[in-house]
Amino acid sequence: MSTTTPESALLARLDELARRHGDVLDLMNQPEIAKNPTKIVEFSKEEGALRRLVEPYRAYQKVHVQIEEAQAILDDPQADAELKDLAREELPELEAKAAEGMEELKGLIVMGDDAGIDSIIMEIRAGTGGEEAALFARDLYEMYLRFAATKGYKHEILDASPTDMGGFREVIINFKGPGVYANLGYEAGGHRVQRVPDTEAQGRIHTSAATVAVLPEPKEIEVEIDWEKDVIEHVSRAGGPGGQNVNKVSSAIKLEHLPTGITVSMRDEKSQHKNRAKARRILMSRVYEMHMTKERAERDSARKNMIGSGDRSERIRTYNFPQNRCSDHRIGQNFSLDHVIQGEMADLIEALRTHDKEQRLKNLQLQ
């Protein structure tokens, strides 16, 4: 009775993906598909996602064939002595290259889902600490905007609740761009700041907090919501500044999703139509997150401890201004706060990704 190893299971899965990649390329060459813009875009995205896995897999297969050829020469008693010496010399290098390729393929398999998400909704909320917490929420918001600019990501503010001193009680942003979730997905959780607030006359260090949620923004086909039957819409007049129109026109929207109990309120725009559109996007993302969290829990309870789980109650990082130290508690590493707060987060994110990959690979071994 043969035993299936993690490597053999992985290679079998990659064989399936390689066949699907060939099928997609054939479909894209069919005249009826080529003339259909919607289908071409759909298949082009699938082909690109598959190619990220299939190309390294083919490179691995090529090295594996070279290993078999070298081993065959060594096992052949009739082989030329010079050829045997060459094969004996090349074999360790080829085996090391194959092992490296296998590790790369494992990483691509376990991290591939994140890499394919190119749009997220980030929610930043002030926690304990009053006005200082709101100012910290603003600092996080600006930090993410700076990082997004270095990656060429586009952003859109979906909703914001500013304070009188320029902070945010809450701000919701949409970021779009290749790999956006793979980079910013690790920001989900509780963030803590230690510093002397501008409002502190005695120079005492205060501790404040903010929470960050990172929600993958799904395509509409991925989340089925019956807007007529499953969602109750409440319309009201928006309060706050904005002149007579804001107070007289019923533009504020509140959506209640009956199957999950999730509610979303939106009053950022004067237009009821724009508020409804934004509220629906946020609602879809929250429903999607709930379903994905449930699936992950059912598939493997170990994933609860994985980086990027999105547990908003979990304290993931401390920003210590007096010591110029940014400490990520999930990996036990410190980084220069001056650099991180300016959006120079590449080293921090790479360390998180490396740790996450290691944890997922361990989990792959247990499956």
The model's pLDDT over 117-126, given as tens digits with 9 standing for 90+, comes to 889 989 999 9
pTM over 0.75: no
CB-CB contact of 260 with 224 (8 Å): no
Complete DSSP assignment for 169-216: EEEEEEEESTTHHHHHGGG-EEEEEEE--TT-SS---EEEEEEEEEEE
Tokens of 23: 């099928």
Nearest to 206 by CA among 136, 273, 140: 136
> Helix 37-75 vs helix 6-28: angle between axes, to the nearest 10 degrees?
130
Write down the pLDDT at residue 202: 76
In 3-state terms, what secondary structure has residue 357? helix
In 3-state terms, what secondary structure has residue 86? helix
Q: Encode pLDDT of 42-86 as tens digits.
A: 888 889 888 988 999 999 999 999 999 999 999 988 888 888 899
Q: Encode pLDDT of 128-156 as tens digits.
A: 888 999 999 999 999 999 999 999 999 99
Distance (Å) of CA 41 to CA 22, 134, 204: 17, 42, 57
**Helix extents (H) in the chain:** 6-28, 31-34, 37-75, 81-115, 130-151, 180-184, 244-248, 272-299, 337-341, 346-366
Write down the pLDDT at residue 364: 61
CA distance 186 to 355: 11
Q: What residue ranges of the chain have pLDDT lower than 50?
A: 1, 221, 240-247, 299-313, 366
Write down the pLDDT at residue 1: 44
Nearest to 218 by CA among 304, 298, 311, 287: 287
Complete DSSP assignment for 19-42: HHHHHHHHHHTSHHHHT-HHHHHH
Write down the pLDDT at residue 157: 92
Write down the pLDDT at residue 358: 80
CA distance 161 to 13: 47
Nearest to 211 by CA among 195, 194, 193: 193
Q: Do strands 189-195 and 315-320 pair parallel, antiparallel, or not at all (unpaired)?
A: parallel
Q: Do strands 154-162 and 262-266 pair parallel, antiparallel, or not at all (unpaired)?
A: unpaired
